Amino acid sequence: METVTVQCGDRETREINREIRQRIAEGYKEIEIAAPGARHSLGVAILEPVHLTFNGSVGYYCAGLMDGATVTIRGSAGWGLAESMMNGTVIVEGSAGNGAAAAMRGGTVVIQGDASARAGVSMKGGTLLIAGDSGYMTGFMAQKGTIIICGDAGEALADSMYEAAVFVGGKIADLGTDAVIHEPTSEDGAFLRETLGAHGLDADRDWKKIVAGRKLWNFDKHESTWREIL
Amino acid sequence: MCAILGYLDKTGNKAAPIGRTLLRMLIAVGCRGPDSTGVAIFGPDRGGLVLQIKLGEHGDFTARAGELLEQIETFIAVKEHTVTSSYLRAVIDERVDPQHLVQAIEQFDPESIEVVSMGHRLEILKQVGSPQELEETYHISQMVGTHGIAHTRLSTESRVDLSHSQPFWAHGALDVATAHNGHITNYHKLRRIYEQRGVRFYTENDSEIIGIYLRDRMERGESLEEALRASLVDFDGSFCYVAATNDALAYVKDPFGLKPLVVAETDDWVAVATEEIALRQALGDGFRTREPGTRTMQIWPLQAPAVAAV
């Protein structure tokens, strides 16, 4: 089947989302959504391996709760892009607002522009790839998964993380609580080349790897850490 | 939740359709603030000072307006006046001390009379209700000028009434208005400081402190830009706010990025909004938007290139 276009016009988000699901049920694999007008919650909870293309900017929570679809956004995205995504691919040609890929569990989110504050907050898996710069407290309390920032990272980077890792190609404004810088391993290097290569980005940068220092992982009130770190 | 909006025409047009643009933006984000709606528009020069005076919260104020007008005319010539719903709009000779005038007017009935805005070009119109209701009552879509800000309110801590609505006039400072989304958490501490200096507060709305703070700093000789920058240090809590004077439009974004704000700029205009949907519905598709970083401010003077965001 060819591509079908969903026209947003003056319609409510709920109606637009219903039509998207209907088209998926009809067997369409390529669905374009025209004039999304930065509406919120577009294309949420899509569980089928279809390709949605939003021809314009989207609002908050676009592609949230997704499992296995591919979403292309030809514009910018608001807050909470692909939040709690299980699997699949989301590509934003513009920039993303706060909390991009919040709590994502798997798959890949690619932001070709910049990410705002708290990108990858509470990530639980998957890869968040930011071609531009990333904002304040990127990777805040990220549990697992990988954040790759090709450009510069804002203040409080990787604050209070668990097992996630952040790679930064540019400058770091400052590190968050319990964030430490390590040398990337050769495996990291291969992973970066492969992941960036898949999205047409240059992996030849001065990569810093940021992980948790693990000083916040266990609480013992007698440890001096707790007097200093907070 | 609230939403804030701002729009400035860069072409030098003194009669740009500011009201119409702000209304379209307001309707797009009206769902964020079901309690109240308001605009602050910088219109054409009236050859005097224009006042928007609140006559009361609800009811027919024709008689009251007449009495108040008589009172005002005992100490200053009124060049023109109209009464629309809760507001008496008056244009007066500008050779008057603004503070004395405000006091004299509000003395008429301190419980309910309030000068909602005063300035050479600033006019604030706000009320309880939706953007559509604001338009029905005050025809804001017909208001023209150079720039303006707007607000739609979800009350979180203080009363829902006209006075507590936004935008706020920085009481006493001609032509300065603000609109805020968020919660200034050190409001009470700051309020005590200003009250000790004799500043009168008109509401219990924390957003009111912003204009009072800006006015204070500008009266001490700071520029708007310096005062906005200082607020990033002195205010605690969550805030995106817009501020406007006769010559400029500005936004401030708090250090934690707790509240959203989106900016778009073309050769012809600059617009800021809590949500991009407002920009798309009012201004179409031919521009990109960006979300400014945390702890930033930016100011656009009328008819000049924007100062770089800090």
Q: Which two tokens stand for residue B113?
A: 């009379």
Question: Hey, is the C-beta of B285 within 8 angstroms of any chain A C-beta?
Answer: yes
Residue of A94, A114, A116 lying closest to B257 (CB–CB): A116
Residue B111 belongs to a domain: yes
- Domain final position from B71, B86, B120: B120
The tally of domains found in chain B comes to 2
Binning pLDDT at 50, 70 and 90, where does residue B306 land? low
**Residue B173 predicted with pLDDT over 90:** yes
Q: pLDDT > 70: what percent of chain B?
A: 98
List the CATH number of the domain containing B292: 3.60.20.10
- Sheet of A87-92: strand order equals A3-7, A30-34, A51-55, A67-73, A87-92, A108-111, A124-130, A144-149, A165-168, A208-212, A179-182
pLDDT digits (tens, 9 = 90+) for B218-273: 999 999 999 999 999 999 999 999 999 999 999 999 999 999 999 999 999 999 99
| Length of chain A (residues) | 230
Contact A57 B293 (CB under 8 A): no
Range of the domain at B53: 48-120
List the CATH number of the domain containing B69: 3.30.70.600
Question: Hey, is the C-beta of A178 within 8 angstroms of any chain B C-beta?
Answer: no
Q: Is B220 found in the same domain as B277? A: yes
The interface pTM score, or ipTM, of the predicted complex is: 0.91
Q: Is B81 found in the same domain as B37? A: no
In the prediction, which pLDDT does A213 show?
95
Binning pLDDT at 50, 70 and 90, where does residue B1 land? confident
The residues near B37 (Cβ < 8 Å, ≥ 6 apart) are: B26, B30, B126, B127, B129, B130, B131, B133, B134, B150, B151, B152, B153, B165
In the prediction, which pLDDT does A229 show?
66
The amino acid sitting at A184 is: P
Within 94-153 of B, beta carbons closer than 8 Å to A belong to none
Residue B308 belongs to a domain: no
Q: Is B145 found in the same domain as B293? A: yes
Strands A87-92 and A108-111: parallel
Question: Hey, is the C-beta of A40 within 8 angstroms of any chain B C-beta?
Answer: yes
Q: Is B262 found in the same domain as B218? A: yes
Contact B293 A79 (CB under 8 A): no
The residues near B130 (Cβ < 8 Å, ≥ 6 apart) are: B30, B34, B37
Task: Report, as an integer, the average pLDDT of A129-156.
Answer: 98
Q: Is B115 found in the same domain as B10? A: no
Q: Which of B53, B159, B57, B158 is nearest to B107 (CA)?
A: B53
Measured in angstroms, the CA of A160 and the nearest CA of chain B are apart by 16
Q: Which two tokens stand for residue B116?
A: 């909602």
Tell me which of A13, A61, A121, A136 to substitute to probe the interface with B (most B C-beta atoms closer than 10 Å).
Answer: A136
**Residues of B with catalytic function:** 2
Chain B residues near residue A130 by CB distance under 8 angstroms: none
Question: Hey, is the C-beta of B260 within 8 angstroms of any chain A C-beta?
Answer: yes
Count contacts between A and B (CB, < 8 Å): 61
Alpha-carbon distances of B154 from B3, B57, B158, rounded to whole Å: 8, 18, 10
Q: Is B180 found in the same domain as B63? A: no
Q: Which of B211, B212, B272, B278 is nearest to B8 (CA)?
A: B272
Q: Is B231 found in the same domain as B85? A: no
Q: Is B174 found in the same domain as B288? A: yes
Residue-by-residue DSSP string for B117-171: EEESSEEEEEEES-HHHHHHHH-GGG--BSEEEEEEE--SSS--STTTSSSEE-T
Residue B77 belongs to a domain: yes
In the prediction, which pLDDT does A125 show?
98
Q: Which two tokens stand for residue A78?
A: 């608001």
Q: Is B194 found in the same domain as B268? A: yes
Chain A residues near residue B288 by CB distance under 8 angstroms: 75-76, 94
* B303 compared with A188, residue with greater pLDDT: A188
* B306 compared with B244, residue with greater pLDDT: B244
CA distance B271 to B248: 12
In the prediction, which pLDDT does B158 show?
85
Q: Which two tokens stand for residue A87?
A: 């699997």
Q: Is B238 found in the same domain as B172? A: yes
**Residue A132 predicted with pLDDT over 80:** yes
The amino acid sitting at B209 is: I
The residues near A201 (Cβ < 8 Å, ≥ 6 apart) are: A129, A131, A150
Residue B309 belongs to a domain: no
In the prediction, which pLDDT does A223 show?
79
pLDDT digits (tens, 9 = 90+) for A71-115: 999 999 999 999 999 999 999 999 999 999 999 999 999 999 999
- Domain final position from B78, B100, B120: B120
- Domain final position from B120, B145, B168: B120
Strands B49-54 and B87-92: antiparallel
Strands A67-73 and A87-92: parallel
* B117 compared with B155, residue with greater pLDDT: B117
What are the sequence ranges of the domains in chain A? 32-228
A38 neighbors B274 (Cβ within 8 angstroms): no
CA distance A116 to B295: 12
Class of domain A32-228: mainly beta
Task: Report, as an integer, the average pLDDT of B175-198.
Answer: 97
Q: Is B289 found in the same domain as B177? A: yes
Give the global pTM: 0.93
Residue B306 belongs to a domain: no
Q: Which of B63, B151, B49 is nearest to B100 (CA)?
A: B49
CA distance A76 to B287: 11
CA distance B202 to B208: 8
CA distance B293 to B257: 7
Tell me which of B24, B32, B263, B289 to substitute to probe the interface with A (most A C-beta atoms closer than 10 Å).
Answer: B289
Q: Is B91 found in the same domain as B39? A: no
Binning pLDDT at 50, 70 and 90, where does residue B309 land? low
